[in-house]
Amino acid sequence: MRVRSVTSLLVVIVLTVSGQCLAVGTDQQFNLKPGARGNLCLKCHDSFKEKMARKVIHTPLRKKECSGCHNPHTSSHGKMLASSTKMVCSLCHATMVSAKPRSVHKVVADGGCMKCHDPHSSDYKNSLVKEGKSLCFTCHKSLGEKIAKVKYKHAPVEKDCLSCHLVHSSDKGLSLLRSETNALCLGCHQSDKPLFMKKHMNYPVAKALCTGCHNPHGSDSPGLLHKNVHSPVAKRMCNQCHMEATSATPLKIKTEGIGLCRGCHNDMVNKTFDKNRLHWPLLSKKGCLACHNPHASEDKGLLREPMAQMCYKCHDDTMRRQQKNISKHEPVAEGRCGECHDPHSSNFLFLTKKDHKFELCLNCHDWGRHSSHPIGEKSVDPRNKNLTLGCVSCHRSHGTENKKMFFYKTTTEVCVQCHEKLAR
Amino acid sequence: MPMIRSTCVHIFLLATVCVYSAHAATAVKFKPQALTNQDSKNAPLKNPEGVACSATSVLVSDTGNGRLLRYNLVNDDLKEGTEIRLPQITYPLRIKFASKGEVLVLDGKSRKIVRVAANNTFVAFLEPQNVPAPATIVTRSLTVDSKGNIYLVDIQGDRLLILDPNGVFIRQITFPADFGYISDVAVDQRGTILILDSMKDSVYRALVNENNFTVMAKDLQNYLFFAVSIETDSQGRVYLVDQNDNGVILLGQDGSFLGRYLNFGWKQGQIYYPAQGCLAGNDIFVIADRDNSRIQLFKLQ
């Protein structure tokens, strides 16, 4: 009895140890002939001769330990990998992301190591698939195009993205920046230099956020200012909104909240507040600044981000639903929320520019006027006598999981909601 | 041996009954009970966004028509529907019963809170007194507890203001760190304050006399899209009205998810962009069914 239990224990130990070996794939595991390791694989995988000739060869390949990453017999993963990409790489490269990062490269978090690295060999350092900026611009294509076109270029960007960014994760900065934004800028641009101070009207801007006005990737405006600059900033009239540069609190704004903006945008503010429904963030502590950057922005209307990104920050549910939709309303899919909605205020539900049931749709869809189906204020909805028939009686304005932005799967299902007698 | 077997059977039955009872205490059914889409003169409602409940009556913010309607709750149905039209109220949103039979109405256009007397006349605007800075208050929603104290969601000051029935400041609780967008408040019978974060799909609570909010339920995005209204019952359960996905979510006292009820549609029992919910007498849940331009009553079973 005792012998049996000892034997069982030994079997468990052997299996455990062999299981661990499986991860790294040894000669013993596959019972290879002496000298067969790696060479055996390369007999069939002829193309590896070329890979082996490159400058940088991944250590397991150099040691001809193909089974370090691949299972030569069976696998549930692509390329006969012994495990998922993320797991395979982390067996040796476990510490690519620090314990408490402030930002992590998404591709790293997703385990897409091979998007940047060639797991076998490369002509570039760190076995990268491309060299320098060109690798980054494979994914960040639009940014690369912008940088190539801009009139005023930022020297470090011309050199390499890694001047400012880290590649895997950053402990100190957002967006993989090597440190806090300002600390990074001030590493080169000394804020106590007379020219620097003069350009910034003697305001202690080192305490502000440089990227609030400047685009570090380059710009068509002198001083690398963002594409759209708030008029007082462009005219260097900082004291229009801030206290004087010589005061004890030079960066403090003269009035809190919407009152400051009202000084110039009085008509717009009056029109906004004259409507029944206000966009609540406008009345929050941040006021206009909840959506707008008061200095400069790449986006029209000094929006902090492109409109869709801006709106979806709060209306995340709209984005989640949109992802499920098969039929998508074009302006929604393209992030043109302002096409139908007034982001400040409205007299209509959903802050639409006109009544969302019918009138709003006619802005683009002339067909609405020629519909043979009863529609409009005089046509009562048979399902609910308090409602009139409009486009949204059958279609959902943002889109649905069904064709033609219908609420229901088939046309028949849509029709029989009202025409019950026709239901089969 | 037979005695042991019968004891086992009894224990099994007892356990089954206990489990069933526990389940029955938490699970709820929303049975469509009644609906109204007109006032006492048969004029239609238009996009109502607020409902206030008491044991015997229901006040409605008939928002699209710029008026209030007072209904009597008779045999689990709404009767009458007397119009209250006041120049101080042009776009009523949230509405709550207060002490002395008064009603507090948040007007969307002026963003002021209007006190309306039991006889349907204007009393005064609620002017919070002795409130610490910031001086400007923007009320997004409100509620009233059993003592008549008033709770205002102040989105300008990122805080919840607690006032006595006369509007005099008692205390304030700042919104939790990293809040998204606080849209509503409720107070249960034990005095626990609950606030709803529509953006973060979370509910925070502060027990009686606590001066900060802690998470009660978070990451509810698997169950709802964009909740805008919060209500509690005598058992401490929490009802969230999900405006953008047309439903009601029920949470337990501990914030656990108990169920999701109702669906989108135009027919009775279905809702379309509900704006506010409240619990009336006799286990009736009343919903301002905004885009269906009606008020619906559901019997909780």
Answer yes or no: are the C-beta atoms of B84 and B120 closer than 8 Å.
yes
C-alpha B83/C-alpha B71 separation (Å) is: 9
Distance from CA of A365 to the nearest CA of B (A): 23
- Identify from A276, A357, A392 which residue to disrupt to test chain B contact, counting B C-beta atoms within 10 A and taking the largest count: A276
Chain A CB within 8 Å of residue B290 CB? yes
Chain A positions touching B196 (Cβ under 8 A) are none
- Identify from A274, A284, A391 which residue to disrupt to test chain B contact, counting B C-beta atoms within 10 A and taking the largest count: A284
Q: How far is CA A153 from CA A52, A146, A214, A378, B42, in A?
A: 39, 10, 12, 61, 70
Total Cβ atoms within 10 A of residue A402: 19
Place of tokens 């690295």: A117
**What pairing do the DSSP bridges indicate for beta strands A228-229 and A296-297?**
antiparallel
Q: Largest alpha-carbon pair distance within chain A?
A: 94
Chain A CB within 8 Å of residue B32 CB? no
Chain A CB within 8 Å of residue B181 CB? yes
C-alpha B195/C-alpha B205 separation (Å) is: 6
Chain A CB within 8 Å of residue B267 CB? yes
How does pLDDT run across B283-298, given as a tens digit for each residue? 999 999 999 999 999 9
Across the interface, of A276, A387, A417, the residue whose CB is closest to B293 is A387
Please report the domains of chain B, with CATH numbers, ordered by start residue.
29-300 (2.120.10.30)
CB contact under 8 A, A276 and B109: yes
Distance from CA of B158 to the nearest CA of A (A): 7
- Identify from B152, B291, B294, B295 which residue to disrupt to test chain A contact, counting A C-beta atoms within 10 A and taking the largest count: B291
CB contact under 8 A, B157 and A285: yes
Chain B positions touching A283 (Cβ under 8 A) are 111, 138, 155-156
A8-45: buried (b, 16+ CB within 10 Å) or exposed (e) per residue?
eeeeeeeeeeeeeeeeebeeeeeebeeeebbebbbeee
How does pLDDT run across A136-172, given as a tens digit for each residue? 999 999 999 999 999 999 999 999 999 999 999 999 9
Residue B135 burial (10 A CB sphere; 0-12, 13-18, 19+)? exposed
Within 8 A by CB and 6+ apart from B10, the residues are none
pLDDT score of A4: 64
Chain B positions touching A278 (Cβ under 8 A) are 108, 111
C-alpha A360/C-alpha A356 separation (Å) is: 5
Q: What is the percentage of chain B residues whose pLDDT exceeds 90? A: 87
pLDDT score of A94: 83
pLDDT score of B11: 63
C-alpha B232/C-alpha B252 separation (Å) is: 10
Tokens of B268: 């009775």
- Rounded to 5 degrees, φ, ψ at A87 are -70, -45
Chain B positions touching A256 (Cβ under 8 A) are 134
Chain A positions touching B157 (Cβ under 8 A) are 285
How does pLDDT run across A61-97, given as a tens digit for each residue? 888 888 888 888 888 888 888 888 778 888 888 888 8
Place of tokens 């009239």: A237
- Identify from B178, B225, B289 which residue to disrupt to test chain A contact, counting A C-beta atoms within 10 A and taking the largest count: B225
The residues pairing with A400 across neighbouring beta strands, listed in sequence order, are A327
Chain A positions touching B111 (Cβ under 8 A) are 278, 283
Instruction: Report which residue type is found at B56.
Output: T
* Helix axes of A316-324 and A307-314: crossing angle, nearest 10 degrees: 110
Place of tokens 């069914």: B289
CB contact under 8 A, B199 and A316: yes
pLDDT score of A10: 53
Tokens of A393: 């009686």
Is pLDDT at B2 greater than 60 in this prediction? no
Answer yes or no: are the C-beta atoms of B210 and B204 closer than 8 Å.
no
pLDDT score of A125: 92
**Which range is least confidently modeled, A17-26, A274-283, B48-57, B177-186?**
A17-26
Among B residues 201-260, those touching chain A with beta carbons less than 8 Å apart: 221, 225-226, 244-245
In chain A, which residues touch B (CB < 8 A)? 256-257, 275-278, 280-281, 283-285, 314-318, 320-321, 349, 381, 383-387, 417
Answer yes or no: are the C-beta atoms of B50 and B92 closer than 8 Å.
yes
CB contact under 8 A, B290 and A386: no
Is pLDDT at B4 greater than 80 in this prediction? no
How does pLDDT run across B121-152, given as a tens digit for each residue? 999 999 999 999 998 999 999 999 999 999 99
Chain A, nearest residue to B243 by Cα:
A317
Chain A CB within 8 Å of residue B47 CB? yes
Is pLDDT at B5 greater than 80 in this prediction? no
Residue B19 binned pLDDT confidence (cut-offs 50, 70, 90):
very low
Chain A, nearest residue to B264 by Cα:
A407
Among B residues 50-79, those touching chain A with beta carbons less than 8 Å apart: none
CB contact under 8 A, A320 and B225: yes
Distance from CA of B88 to the nearest CA of A (A): 14
C-alpha A137/C-alpha A145 separation (Å) is: 8
C-alpha A76/C-alpha B261 separation (Å) is: 41
C-alpha B139/C-alpha B145 separation (Å) is: 17
CB contact under 8 A, A314 and B136: no
Under-50 pLDDT residues of chain A: 1, 12, 14-24
- Identify from A270, A312, A317, A407 which residue to disrupt to test chain B contact, counting B C-beta atoms within 10 A and taking the largest count: A317
Chain B, nearest residue to A392 by Cα:
B291
The whole-number average pLDDT for the span B50-59 is 95
pLDDT score of B102: 95
CB contact under 8 A, B245 and A257: no
C-alpha A148/C-alpha A144 separation (Å) is: 6
